[in-house]
Amino acid sequence: MIRIGGGQGFYGDGHAPVADLLADGVDYLVCEALAELTLAILQKDRQRDESLGYARDLPLYVAEAIGHILDGRTRLITNAGGINPIAAGRAVVDGLRRHGVTGVRVATVVGDDLRPHAEQVGLPDDVLFANAYLGAAPIVEALADGAHIVITGRVADASLFLAPLIHEFGWAADDWDRLAAGVTGGHLLECSGQVAGGNYSGAWWENPDPFRPAFPIGEFEADGTFVVTKPAGTGGMVTFDTVREQLLYEVHDPRAYLNPDVSVDLTSARLEDLGADRVRVSGITGSAPPVTYKALVCRPAGWAAEIKAVYGWPDAEAKARAAVRFLRRRADAIGMSVDEWCEEYFGVNAFGGPTVPAPPDGWEPPEVIARLAWRCASADEAARLPREMGVLGLSGPPMVAGIGRSRDGRPSQLLGLEARAIERDLVDAGVRVASTDV
């Protein structure tokens, strides 16, 4: 049996629950740090400093796990390398050396960056980053070479968890059912506490200890069956319902959950609640993966700014809408060139938009926050409207509790993301693993 801990669900996730995973005993700690939005955040970091572009909380996870790594109890796998895995690997190696750590092999996986193939794949001239979603193969290579820490760039989330299973059990590259089981296990573990009762839409208030969040553990057998559980004594819960919620999370077609290593039929999964925070998953089937890799291409998409205003009862919504009408009229009056507007009213429809049902007659929200955002071609143009908002303080609707600008009124650059399909052979030819012994 191989025990894998889901130690991170996104860049900025809490790392305190990792200690419970390690104390409970995991053969592999897998930290999944990336999302489409994360890559855009890392791109802004790299624009400011070429040595950045990776998840800067990576050292926290390394520091948490290093004692177990040195004792041979745990290996660490993470895609926190983001769009600059070389810099991430260098930062980890330098940090270990500064602290006098020796006897650790750090492997870095590169090759997901498509910019060297710009002409072949038709990348636009203004591309900021373009990365393919790699599969498990280079991580398996790194583990076979003795790596204790494996840092990757844009590897598909579930493939991070599949790799150690292929390495440990020797699963064949076309053993679709077992690979599908590994990907399903990775999909369940990749969002850290979410499968263990976090973000649960059921009886979330029954969490036995909400002050000690639980991160999940997968106990995998060579035949592909596995149990989802959590460390003893932690909060949260692992039940049939929490597992099936996560099973369908971010899934477009449950009969064809596409991954670089295998296509999974999630409807074949059988869940058995064993009690005591243990759910067995079995019966999963799979088929050959897509013939292409998914890739994400990022380009500049203008500049955005926003204003928020808080209005209290009575007529809170009407006041908020009046303030927004005033600001948009002022934008016309000063000749602003706005490519796109966004209006949201928190307390009314900000989360649901047009799907929100009309309130009962006579009902009014006690307060409403109006958010007006806009997109312009340049930062200077986007910055013009906030100068017009001050007059609302004493000359606008009554009962305003605050008018504010995000980011100190400074516009932020918008990044446009586009998904593409890329030939595997083109990408695979440039994938390599670089290892450093500390």
Q: Provide the pLDDT for residue 358.
A: 82
**Quick check: helix, strand or coil at residue 22?**
helix
- pLDDT tens per residue across span 41-98: 999 999 999 999 999 999 999 999 999 999 999 999 999 999 999 999 999 999 999 9
Q: Please compute the mean of the pLDDT values over residues 280-296 and round it to a whole number.
A: 98
DSSP assignment of 134-161: B-SHHHHHHHHTT-SEEE-SSB-HHHHH
Q: Please compute the mean of the pLDDT values over residues 126-147 and round it to a whole number.
A: 97
In one-letter notation, the amino acid at residue 126 is D
- pLDDT tens per residue across span 237-274: 999 999 999 999 999 999 999 999 999 999 999 999 99
**pLDDT above 90 (res 149):** yes
| Percent of all residues in the chain with a pLDDT value above 90, rounded to a whole number | 90
Q: 8 - beta bridge partners?
A: 31
Whole-angstrom distance, CA of residue 428 vs CA of residue 422: 11
Q: Provide the pLDDT for residue 275.
A: 96
CATH code 3.30.70 region(s) in the chain: 297-416
- pLDDT tens per residue across span 188-219: 999 999 999 999 999 999 999 999 999 999 99
- pLDDT tens per residue across span 355-404: 888 888 888 889 999 999 999 999 999 999 988 888 888 888 998 887 77
| Residue 351 Ramachandran class (φ > 0 left, ψ -120 to 50 alpha, else beta) | alpha
**pLDDT above 80 (res 405):** no
Q: Please compute the mean of the pLDDT values over residues 174-192 and round it to a whole number.
A: 98
Q: 134 - beta bridge partners?
A: 155
**pLDDT above 70 (res 406):** no
Whole-angstrom distance, CA of residue 165 vs CA of residue 146: 15
Q: Provide the pLDDT for residue 409.
A: 64
**Quick check: helix, strand or coil at residue 348?**
coil
Which two three-digit tokens encode residue 225? 């069956």
Q: What is the mean pLDDT of the chain?
A: 95
**pLDDT above 80 (res 176):** yes
Tell me which of 139 and 358 has the higher pLDDT.
139
Whole-angstrom distance, CA of residue 374 vs CA of residue 118: 32
Q: Provide the pLDDT for residue 188.
A: 98
In one-letter notation, the amino acid at residue 51 is S
Binned at pLDDT 50, 70 and 90, residue 350 comes out as confident
Going from the C-alpha of 148 to that of each of 70, 85, 171, 261, the distances in angstroms are 9, 16, 21, 23
Q: Provide the pLDDT for residue 30.
A: 98
Q: Please compute the mean of the pLDDT values over residues 103-124 and round it to a whole number.
A: 96
Nearest to 153 by CA among 110, 186, 106: 110
- pLDDT tens per residue across span 60-71: 999 999 999 999
**pLDDT above 70 (res 408):** no
Which two three-digit tokens encode residue 161? 């968890």
**pLDDT above 80 (res 407):** no
Q: Please compute the mean of the pLDDT values over residues 405-427 and round it to a whole number.
A: 87
Q: Provide the pLDDT for residue 160.
A: 98
| Residue 280 Ramachandran class (φ > 0 left, ψ -120 to 50 alpha, else beta) | beta
Whole-angstrom distance, CA of residue 247 vs CA of residue 254: 9
- pLDDT tens per residue across span 19-30: 999 999 999 999
Query: Radius of gyration of the chain from Cα atoms?
Result: 24
Domain 297-416 CATH (choose: 3.30.70, 3.30.1890, 1.10.3470, 3.40.50): 3.30.70
